[in-house]
Structure 1
Amino acid sequence: MEMMKTITAHSRLDDDTDAVNLRSTASAGRHHLEQPASAEAFPRDPTHVHGLSLTYLEGHRIVAWRADHRITRAYDILRNQISQAPKGSGSLMVAVTAPACGCGTSVTAINLAFSFARSTTGGVLLVDGNGAAPAAGSLLGLAPLSNPSRDRQLGGHVRLDAQGVRLDLLRPACGQERKFRPHQLADDLQQVRQVLQPAVIVVDLAAMLGFDEAPPIVAAADVVVLVVAAGQSTRAEVAVCQSYFQPHQTVQVVLNKAQRHGL
């Protein structure tokens, strides 16, 4: 990840994606999800803390649990920009998505969650909401869940530890990946807010232009992080994504896969 800036919802792009002029967004208010119909509750505290392999994490570009890593600073800057966004009462919900697959949303979401976990009191929850190709568990070195909940699509809640930096993870159980229903995911996230009451929720979503589950969560988020890939994402794709953003939302754009510039 080389650059992060802010884009105004519904604004026009003046240049190609790898050289876009991104502007600040003033945010006010928020969009509330409807109350979930199900009374089933997520456990407030998981029964086990899973220690992560630090070597495995670094091998998969998950580094923001380390304050001294050279790449961590970029995620910390993004975290600080997001933290300034206005929000209502309760958890700050950050939706991480991209125009198309392969832009690096999962790596961005996990590193952002660890960055928040190092600096935020009240707990951080990472949600693997990518029903098309859930990747958070694999990137963290976790085995697939083998006992899916009968009714819920977010079946697995585990607390993770990377050298003392802890966050919670919710992910789909094995066999549920392609059964995601966007509005049920929205209901689950609302219930997560009510039951677990984390300070921050980071949701790793599928690509906006290829799957139906991302737009409803993007519309409900306090902050949207749009990951675009240099040499891959197009100005037209980003412009279409902008049409889904709400006027009150803060939208941060991350330029990924850029060439090193020596700055």
Structure 2
Amino acid sequence: MKDTFASSPATAVRPRGDLMVPAKGSFTRPRRFDDAAQDLVDEAEIVMEEKAPKLPSSYPEETNLAAAPRDLWALLHTQEPGKDQHILEGSQAAEDFRATDVSRAFDLLRTRLRQTVKQHGWVNIAVASPTTGCGNTFTAANLAASLARVPSSRTVLMDFNMRSPGLAKTLDMDASQTGDLRDFLAGDVAISDYILRASDTLAVGLGSSAQADAAEIMQDPATAASLAEMRAALRPDIVLYDMPPLLSHDDTSAFLPQLDGVLLVSDGTQTMAKHIAECERILDGQVPLLGVILNRARASSIERF
């Protein structure tokens, strides 16, 4: 899947208590000091070292369901994106957007991405750009919306641009209604107190404040453990991570061991060939580059069929 697009367990999980939801209105679980949770950290480190498959999104029938993590999807708090934009169905803006070439380009990207991740058993996909202002948040949000239109699917969209979180603004959602991303990744906020369900098939993790030590947070073993726990509890088909620019900071580079693939968003008005080449060099041997998405392309350069 190396195209350019134009667009604006086999064994039961052992019991470890219910770490997914808060008890009696109070919830603190410092994972680093909990024996059962430390096992999760150790397992996450093995994943990082060996690039082993991530936790499965579903469990075989013979699995001991009493020992498996609860499916929290239906228990997530709901918050709909703003009705004056086109991200989800149900507004005139969404109906109008579906008729555009941009929407069709996202649907094409969605279908190719779903085919690729199913073929390889992948889950974690990053949407990144070489530099700032290329539109990767716009791309991640619209790709997630397109994925969410697939019936009976589950997509989780995470705002991992901790330097400049913008997903809440793009979706017109209130990030103050959830726990803090930093605390969630540290293991001190429950999944159901952080992840919001935007629709029956789409859940989002928002960011509200910038983090100067974003790269260190990305490399914290607790982050890997929290995300593994989240995948086991929500069982998504795809987790999309809206990442910061590859060439501006080392945040995305630090997170590469957690990823199965990267979609790179370029800007037709500012991205140069040398930027793409440098991104390919950074990703080489680390994680597959699944494609380059051309944003703000000249209308004359878009081939019509």
TM-score range, shorter chain: 0.7 to 0.9
SS state of the match for residue 79, structure 2? strand
Counterpart residue type for residue 293 of structure 2: V
Is the 1:126–1:204 contact (alpha carbons within 8 Å) kept by the matching residues of 2?
A: yes
Equivalences for 1:189-208 in 2 at 5 Å?
189-208=227-246
SS state of the match for residue 210, structure 1? coil
Equivalences for 1:156-235 in 2 at 5 Å?
156-161=194-199, 166-172=201-207, 174-175=208-209, 177-180=211-214, 181-184=217-220, 185-235=223-273
Displacement of 1:94: 1.3
Displacement of 1:260: 1.3
Is the 2:126–2:261 contact (alpha carbons within 8 Å) kept by the matching residues of 1?
A: yes
Displacement of 1:54: 2.8
1:180-238 per-position Cα deviation (integer Å, ceiling 9, x unaligned): 31123444332322221111111100001112221233443222110010121111111
Matched, 1:97 2:128: yes
Match of 1:144 in 2: 175
Equivalences for 1:236-255 in 2 at 5 Å?
236-247=274-285, 249-255=288-294
The 1:63–1:148 alpha-carbon spacing in structure 2 relative to 1, beyond 3 Å, is: same
Matched, 1:114 2:145: yes
5+ residue gaps in structure 1? 8-17, 19-29
The number of residue pairs the alignment matches comes to 228
Matched, 1:31 2:51: yes
Displacement of 1:51: 2.5
Q: Give the structure-1-normalised TM-score.
A: 0.72
The CA distance in 2 between the partners of 1:89 and 1:194, in whole Å, is 18
Counterpart residue type for residue 134 of structure 1: P
Displacement of 1:151: 3.5
Q: Which has the higher contact order (CA 8 A, sep 6+)?
A: 1
Is the 2:262–2:290 contact (alpha carbons within 8 Å) kept by the matching residues of 1?
A: yes
With 230-239 and 96-105 compared, the bigger mean Cα shift is at: 230-239
Match of 1:21 in 2: none
The 1:80–1:218 alpha-carbon spacing in structure 2 relative to 1, beyond 3 Å, is: farther
The CA distance in 1 between the partners of 2:227 and 2:126, in whole Å, is 11
1:64-91 per-position Cα deviation (integer Å, ceiling 9, x unaligned): 9964444211001111221232568866
Counterpart residue type for residue 157 of structure 2: L
Identity, % of aligned positions? 23
The CA distance in 2 between the partners of 1:152 and 1:50, in whole Å, is 18
Match of 2:15 in 1: none
The 1:32–1:145 alpha-carbon spacing in structure 2 relative to 1, beyond 3 Å, is: farther
Matched, 1:55 2:55: no
SS state of the match for residue 119, structure 1? coil
The CA distance in 2 between the partners of 1:82 and 1:157, in whole Å, is 23
Could you say what the CA RMSD is over the residues aligned between the two structures, in angstroms? 3.5
Is the 2:165–2:210 contact (alpha carbons within 8 Å) kept by the matching residues of 1?
A: no
Pick the structure with more strand per residue.
1
Is the 1:132–1:211 contact (alpha carbons within 8 Å) kept by the matching residues of 2?
A: no
Displacement of 1:259: 1.5
With 197-206 and 111-120 compared, the bigger mean Cα shift is at: 111-120
With 108-117 and 208-217 compared, the bigger mean Cα shift is at: 208-217
The CA distance in 2 between the partners of 1:178 and 1:33, in whole Å, is 30
Of residues 130, 143, 156 in structure 1, which corresponds to 2:161? 130
Is the 1:158–1:170 contact (alpha carbons within 8 Å) kept by the matching residues of 2?
A: yes
Matched, 1:71 2:102: yes
Is the 2:163–2:212 contact (alpha carbons within 8 Å) kept by the matching residues of 1?
A: yes
